[in-house]
């Protein structure tokens, strides 16, 4: 049975960590960093995650190391749920067939018991296990308000303290094992702090924490929750684990109504009553608890929906950043010797199933009825192949790592052939590490470090697409920033640098294999492959731009800050793909600064590919505002990473003083404003307990929705944790909000106005319109169905950035999923009278490109008041490259379709339309090349269609 470990990522701009995949025929294991970009890198490498049920996270719980975990867990949970459903269906089919053969298929009780046993068995085999450093449960629990799955058990095992004992009956027993591997985990503390602050037993309970008993309020408490004899620290740990369990394996149902006394209802909530005459459920219309009118009957029984229990926990138990870094030694089980067929025949064993039993280590009876054991026909048993993964964040961890007793214990190290070193700055060249490598000269040492691995392009497909776009339009597209040169070379005959695609074969024999290493993307070769037809159309576009220069200058004459630049960092939807990352748009306004509209996972990596290091420093220094439209993970999981980079650049990672915090917020103009709904702001606050990423330097601002019918504009206010409103009357709540409100012109923001409206997508979703001091007005939709309220607050916008998730023929999908089509997005932009519209958030690689027909008559212009463009032509969805779709728009509106890494100035948006013919030819050629390409092989060896094409100008796939 072949098994091997392969390098999926090395440290680069958009894959900050090192990720490995351990490969067996029927199972995979993810090992190492799960930083932002890991999931997208797996897609790029063709690594299929369906067979992954264990992840071994190395290092510490900090965003650069686990920032991709939330998105990865969602994907793994969904994959496992699909696999679980298929396995259950197959198991039930076989069981029912067996029951029919044996004649008890009509026995209802026996059948029901059998089906329950099968469901429980399938569910037990579908658990996702994550092993890693302290605070991983806490990190996951902070996401309880926006992550929810049912029927996908998740177990997070935090490695703490000593993980082995030499005094037990089985000394040096592994920390964990399954049918394929044995794992020894090592928790390494730095020299300066051999005991993490979080390991203290004192002060572990938050005074605002709701107990787990309060959360479940009389219902059965799930397994694994607290007992009275546990220490405060243990109670807190189990409380957090219970929250994580509820996030992925809850029995909660949205449609279940619970009987509750009216006075006990917690608002906001929709309240129902049962009509005593009709016995039907109706909405309650009377006075509300805590309202100005007294309750006629406080004990009246009403019906309410309960939020799922995890979300009811207002705050999590106390924790502090944990310093321990986790490393692993992983080995295959003992390998049985080769089956000796001739010897089995001599022992009179019948050929067939008995040969297989002996090969599997079992005993059989021969023709004479004698017992033949496996050791009589198998060769000598040997140790299984293995490897170690060492994660050293900085040199203070070196001594405690190299002095671990595991390295010199044969019961642990037998069969280990390599150590993969994941190194922070100044670690790999430390004399102590090099001496350790010389001591263990019999092992291969593979080093993965930003100091020793080149900043190569890791998202090949997206980068190659951008390079082709640059050949068409070099003004708006540039080659992604990268460097193929190796920064520092390490010496040693048994030392090598880690490289993407590199394989360490464990079985049937140990071997370090370089043939699967993915070569750097050749920019020159990609450019050379561009056809003359495409380049000819591009030349025509440039000529058209030159010819229309006067007309476009006239169009842009009345736009303030026409040099303002829009950089579309992520233009995909829901999940990151090879070609489009998830949502993020950067706006740079001269004289004001920069802001981000949404900040999906790996936005920082996208910024590092768009800007050189010097340019990125400037972008971070001028960053003033991040607006998060809603709490879907694809719109905000990159926020912490960007804040942490800003914190390091602007404040040298030094926290603000905690004295008079509110007053310092009012006076400190170097704060970064994050504007969103309270749930987002509370998530940022709670995660700050795990890691100092810069929360103390933020201006966390919530924004109320504009209500046109009440003539009530949006208001900004400092975020106040929900626990501080507990027990307050509605009047006291209003007064507290009023005391914490700030104007848009506040020195931190320096805006003329900011208005937001609630839109139809999910709870708390907002669209926003922002007016800058220069007069520039930009509106952003987030995710939503077409909104008249958004069109109202966006009146007079110079740019409308609007989602266009679906092509027009998929209108029913757009309605079902609360998104917009291309025509609907343009209709909203026209209704607000926008000068330009940038379309983004696409559900497919090839978005249909609009060919615009401009309205000239007054009657046609009147159609702009409608939010919907003319009805789209009927058709069906297709994955083929799109043809142009003709749409009627205002004579004064320009439209651009966004691509990742696109940089476009507001005054030049109209130029993008000229490139439509060239883009259509480019898309057609790319699609044809992918469909007819040879040798498409990804990480899954021999499986076509999942990786990069090998050949001229392309990067080869993995093993």
What would the DSSP string read from start to end of 855-923? E-SHHHHHGGGSSSPSPPPP-----SPPPPEEEEEETT-EEEE--TTEEEEGGGGGGGGGGHHHHHHHH
Best-predicted range by mean pLDDT (130-144, 732-746, 845-859): 130-144
Average of pLDDT values for 498-519?
95
- The CA distance from 900 to 567, in Å, is 8
According to CATH, where is 3.60.15.10 located in the chain? Answer: 3-188+230-246+321-331+383-513, 535-655+669-854+884-930
Cα dihedral: 76, 79, 81, 83 (round 10): -130
Question: Is the CB of residue 465 less than 8 Å from the CB of residue 579?
Answer: yes
- The CA distance from 777 to 908, in Å, is 16
Question: Which stretch of 121-125, 326-330, 774-778, 789-793 has the lowest confidence by average pLDDT?
Answer: 121-125
Question: Is the CB of residue 892 less than 8 Å from the CB of residue 558?
Answer: no
Question: Is the CB of residue 283 less than 8 Å from the CB of residue 270?
Answer: yes
Region for residue 59 given its phi and psi (left: phi exceeds 0; alpha: psi -120 to 50; beta: otherwise): left
Best-predicted range by mean pLDDT (168-182, 265-279, 387-401, 835-849): 387-401
Work out the pLDDT band at 743, boundaries 50, 70, 90: very high
Strands (E), 503-633: 503-507, 511-513, 565-570, 584-589, 593-599, 623-627
Q: How many CA atoms lie within 13 A of 42 on its CB side?
A: 26
| Predicted local confidence at residue 359, as pLDDT | 81
Q: Hey, what are 525's tokens? A: 């070769």
Question: Is the CB of residue 900 less than 8 Å from the CB of residue 462?
Answer: yes
Average of pLDDT values for 450-472?
95
Helices (H), 410-459: 410-413, 431-439
Question: Which stretch of 64-73, 84-93, 851-860 has the lowest confidence by average pLDDT?
Answer: 851-860
- The CA distance from 842 to 823, in Å, is 13
**Given a cut of 90, is residue 291 above it in pLDDT?**
no
Q: At what angle do helices 69-102 and 38-45 cross, to 10 degrees?
A: 60
Question: Is the CB of residue 549 less than 8 Å from the CB of residue 911?
Answer: no
| Predicted local confidence at residue 847, as pLDDT | 64
**Greater model confidence, 485 or 77:** 485
Question: Is the CB of residue 305 less than 8 Å from the CB of residue 257?
Answer: yes
Which residues on neighbouring strands pair with residue 684, listed in sequence order? Answer: none
155 burial class (0-12, 13-18, 19+ CB within 10 angstroms)?
Answer: middle
Question: Which stretch of 152-161, 324-333, 506-515 has the lowest confidence by average pLDDT?
Answer: 152-161
Question: Is the CB of residue 803 less than 8 Å from the CB of residue 765?
Answer: no
CA distances (Å), origin 866, targets 39, 788, 795, 858, 890: 41, 9, 14, 14, 12
Given strand 894-897, what is the order of strands in its sheet? 753-758, 766-771, 777-780, 799-803, 836-840, 894-897
- The CA distance from 384 to 336, in Å, is 9
Q: Hey, what are 797's tokens? A: 């916008």
Question: Is the CB of residue 819 less than 8 Å from the CB of residue 803?
Answer: yes
DSSP 62-100: SHHHHTTHHHHHHHHHHHHHHHHHHHHHHHHHHHHHHHH
Cα dihedral: 682, 684, 685, 689 (round 10): 130
732 burial class (0-12, 13-18, 19+ CB within 10 angstroms)?
Answer: exposed
| Predicted local confidence at residue 852, as pLDDT | 67
Cis omega (within 30 of 0) on the bond before 49? Answer: no
Taking only the tens place, the pLDDT of each residue in 697-739 is 999 999 999 998 888 999 999 998 877 877 778 788 888 888 8
- Identify the architecture of domain 3-188+230-246+321-331+383-513 in CATH: 4-Layer Sandwich (3.60)
Work out the pLDDT band at 284, boundaries 50, 70, 90: very high
Q: At what angle do helices 603-610 and 639-651 cross, to 10 degrees?
A: 60
- The CA distance from 916 to 753, in Å, is 35
Q: How many CA atoms lie within 13 A of 814 on its CB side?
A: 24
Strand 766-771 to strand 716-718: parallel, antiparallel, or no bridges (unpaired)?
Answer: unpaired
Question: Is the CB of residue 19 less than 8 Å from the CB of residue 67?
Answer: no
| Predicted local confidence at residue 164, as pLDDT | 59
Q: Hey, what are 198's tokens? A: 């979080």
| Predicted local confidence at residue 104, as pLDDT | 87
Closest CA to 514 of 524, 527, 501, 525: 501
Strands (E), 385-532: 386-392, 416-423, 444-449, 495-497, 503-507, 511-513
Strand 894-897 to strand 836-840: parallel, antiparallel, or no bridges (unpaired)?
Answer: parallel
Helices (H), 586-688: 603-610, 613-622, 639-651, 661-667, 678-687
Q: Which residue has the tokens 């933020």?
A: 698
| Distance of alpha carbon 161 from the chain centroid | 29
- The CA distance from 852 to 918, in Å, is 16
Question: Which stretch of 301-305, 512-516, 545-549, 898-902 has the lowest confidence by average pLDDT?
Answer: 301-305
CATH number of 535-655+669-854+884-930, picked from 3.60.15.10, 1.10.3210.10, 3.30.420.10, 3.30.465.10: 3.60.15.10
CA distances (Å), origin 393, targets 37, 191, 407, 735, 858: 19, 12, 20, 47, 66
Question: Is the CB of residue 783 less than 8 Å from the CB of residue 808?
Answer: no
Q: Hey, what are 731's tokens? A: 């009047």
Cis omega (within 30 of 0) on the bond before 268? Answer: yes
| Predicted local confidence at residue 883, as pLDDT | 61
- The CA distance from 313 to 329, in Å, is 37
| Predicted local confidence at residue 481, as pLDDT | 97
Question: Which stretch of 113-117, 228-232, 499-503, 699-703 has the lowest confidence by average pLDDT?
Answer: 228-232
Q: Hey, what are 556's tokens? A: 């842009």
Taking only the tens place, the pLDDT of each residue in 568-625 is 999 998 878 889 999 999 999 999 999 999 999 999 999 999 999 999 999 999 999 9
Strand 672-676 to strand 623-627: parallel, antiparallel, or no bridges (unpaired)?
Answer: parallel
Q: Which residue has the tokens 């209709």?
A: 827
**Given a cut of 70, is residue 309 above it in pLDDT?**
no
- The CA distance from 212 to 222, in Å, is 10
Look up the pTM and report it: 0.85
Question: How many percent of the chain have pLDDT more than 70?
Answer: 85
Taking only the tens place, the pLDDT of each residue in 635-685 is 999 999 999 999 999 999 999 976 545 555 556 779 999 999 999 999 999
Average of pLDDT values for 392-412?
96
Mean pLDDT of the chain: 85
Average of pLDDT values for 370-383?
85
**Given a cut of 90, is residue 321 above it in pLDDT?**
yes
Closest CA to 593 of 491, 506, 672: 672
| Predicted local confidence at residue 653, as pLDDT | 96
- The CA distance from 124 to 127, in Å, is 6
Question: Is the CB of residue 58 less than 8 Å from the CB of residue 32?
Answer: yes
- The CA distance from 708 to 719, in Å, is 24
**Given a cut of 70, is residue 203 above it in pLDDT?**
no
- The CA distance from 310 to 477, in Å, is 44
Q: Hey, what are 99's tokens? A: 């029951």
CA distances (Å), origin 263, targets 216, 218, 267, 308, 314: 19, 17, 10, 21, 20
């Amino acid at each position: 049975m072949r098994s091997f470990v392969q390098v999926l990522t090395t440290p680069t701009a958009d894959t900050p960590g090192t990720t490995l995949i351990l490969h067996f025929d029927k199972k995979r294991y993810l090992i190492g960093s799960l930083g932002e970009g890991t999931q997208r890198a797996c897609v790029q490498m063709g690594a299929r995650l369906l067979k992954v049920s264990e992840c071994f996270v190395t290092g510490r719980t900090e965003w650069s190391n686990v920032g991709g975990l939330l998105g990865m867990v969602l994907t793994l949970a969904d994959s496992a749920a699909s696999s679980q459903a298929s396995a259950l269906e197959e198991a039930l089919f076989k069981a029912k067939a067996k029951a029919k053969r044996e004649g008890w298929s009509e026995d209802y009780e026996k059948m029901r018991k059998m089906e329950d046993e099968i469901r429980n068995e399938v569910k037990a085999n579908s658990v996702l296990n994550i092993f890693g450093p302290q605070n991983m449960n806490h990190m996951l629990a902070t996401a309880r308000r926006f992550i929810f799955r049912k029927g996908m058990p998740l177990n997070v095992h935090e490695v703490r303290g000593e993980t082995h004992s030499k005094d037990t009956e089985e000394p040096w027993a592994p920390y964990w094992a399954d049918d394929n591997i044995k794992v020894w985990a090592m928790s390494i503390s730095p020299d300066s702090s051999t005991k993490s602050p979080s390991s203290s037993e004192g002060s572990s309970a938050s005074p605002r924490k709701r107990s787990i008993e309060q959360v479940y309020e009389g219902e059965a408490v799930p397994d694994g929750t607290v007992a009275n004899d546990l220490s405060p620290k243990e109670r807190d740990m189990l409380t957090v684990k219970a929250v994580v369990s509820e996030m992925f394996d809850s029995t909660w149902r949205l449609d279940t109504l619970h009987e509750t006394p009216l006075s006990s209802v917690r608002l906001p909530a929709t309240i129902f009553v049962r009509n005593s005459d009709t016995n039907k459920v109706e909405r309650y219309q009377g006075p509300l608890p805590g309202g100005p009118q007294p309750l006629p009957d406080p004990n009246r029984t009403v019906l309410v929906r309960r939020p799922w229990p995890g979300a009811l926990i207002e705050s999590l138990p106390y924790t502090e950043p944990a310093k321990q870094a986790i490393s692993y030694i992983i080995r295959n089980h003992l390998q049985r010797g080769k089956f000796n067929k001739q010897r089995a025949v001599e022992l009179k064993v019948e050929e067939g199933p008995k040969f297989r039993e002996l090969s599997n280590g079992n005993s059989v009876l021969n023709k004479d009825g004698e017992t033949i054991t496996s050791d009589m026909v198998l060769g000598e048993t040997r140790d299984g192949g293995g490897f170690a993964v060492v994660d050293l964040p900085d040199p203070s961890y070196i001594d405690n790592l190299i002095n671990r007793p595991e390295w010199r214990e044969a019961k642990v190290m037998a069969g280990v052939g390599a150590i993969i070193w994941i190194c922070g700055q100044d670690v790999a060249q430390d004399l102590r590490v090099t001496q350790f490598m010389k001591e263990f000269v019999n092992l291969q040492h593979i080093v993965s470090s930003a100091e020793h691995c080149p900043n190569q392009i890791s998202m090949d497909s997206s980068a190659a697409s951008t390079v082709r776009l640059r050949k068409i339009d070099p003004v708006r597209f540039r080659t992604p920033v990268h460097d193929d040169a190796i920064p520092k070379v390490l010496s040693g005959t048994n030392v090598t640098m880690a490289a993407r695609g590199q394989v360490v074969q464990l079985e049937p024999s140990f071997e370090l294999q370089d043939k699967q290493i993915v070569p750097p993307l050749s920019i020159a070769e990609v450019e050379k492959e561009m056809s003359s037809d495409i380049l000819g159309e591009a030349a025509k576009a440039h000529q058209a731009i030159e010819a229309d220069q006067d007309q476009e200058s006239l169009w842009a004459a009345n736009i303030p800050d026409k040099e303002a630049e829009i950089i579309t960092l992520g233009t995909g939807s829901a999940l990151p793909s090879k070609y489009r990352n998830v949502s993020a748009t950067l706006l740079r306004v001269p004289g004001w600064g920069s802001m981000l509209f949404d900040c999906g996972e790996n936005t920082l990596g996208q910024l590092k590919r768009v800007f050189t290091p010097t340019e990125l420093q400037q972008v971070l220094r001028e960053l003033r505002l991040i607006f998060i439209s809603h709490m879907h993970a694809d719109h905000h999981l990159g926020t912490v990473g960007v804040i942490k980079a800003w914190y390091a650049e602007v404040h040298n990672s030094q926290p603000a003083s905690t004295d008079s915090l509110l007053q310092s917020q009012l006076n400190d103009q170097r704060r970064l404003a994050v504007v969103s709904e309270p749930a987002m702001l509370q998530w940022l606050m709670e995660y700050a307990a795990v890691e100092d990423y810069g929360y103390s330097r933020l201006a966390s601002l919530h924004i109320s929705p504009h209500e046109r019918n009440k003539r009530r504009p949006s208001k900004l206010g400092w975020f106040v944790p929900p626990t501080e409103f507990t027990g307050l009357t509605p009047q006291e709540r209003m007064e507290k909000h009023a005391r914490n409100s700030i104007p848009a012109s506040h020195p931190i923001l320096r805006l003329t106005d900011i208005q937001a409206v609630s839109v139809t997508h999910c709870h708390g979703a907002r669209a926003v319109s922002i007016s800058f001091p220069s007069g520039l007005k930009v509106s952003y939709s987030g995710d939503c169905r077409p909104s008249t309220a958004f069109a109202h607050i966006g009146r007079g916008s110079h740019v409308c950035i609007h989602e266009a998730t679906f092509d027009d023929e998929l209108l029913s999908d757009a309605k079902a999923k609360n998104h917009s089509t291309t025509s609907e997005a343009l209709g909203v932009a026209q209704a607000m009278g926008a000068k330009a519209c940038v379309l983004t958030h696409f559900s497919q690689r090839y978005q249909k490109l609009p060919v615009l027909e401009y309205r000239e008559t007054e009657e046609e212009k009147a159609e702009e008041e409608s939010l919907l463009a003319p009805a789209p032509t009927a058709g069906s969805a297709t994955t083929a490259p799109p043809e142009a779709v003709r749409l009627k728009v205002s004579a004064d509106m320009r439209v651009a379709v966004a691509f990742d890494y696109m940089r476009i100035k507001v005054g030049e948006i109209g130029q993008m339309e000229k490139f439509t013919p060239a883009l259509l030819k480019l898309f057609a050629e790319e699609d044809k090349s992918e469909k007819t390409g040879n040798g498409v092989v990804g990480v899954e060896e021999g499986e076509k269609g999942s990786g990069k094409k090998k050949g001229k100008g392309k990067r080869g796939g993995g093993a």
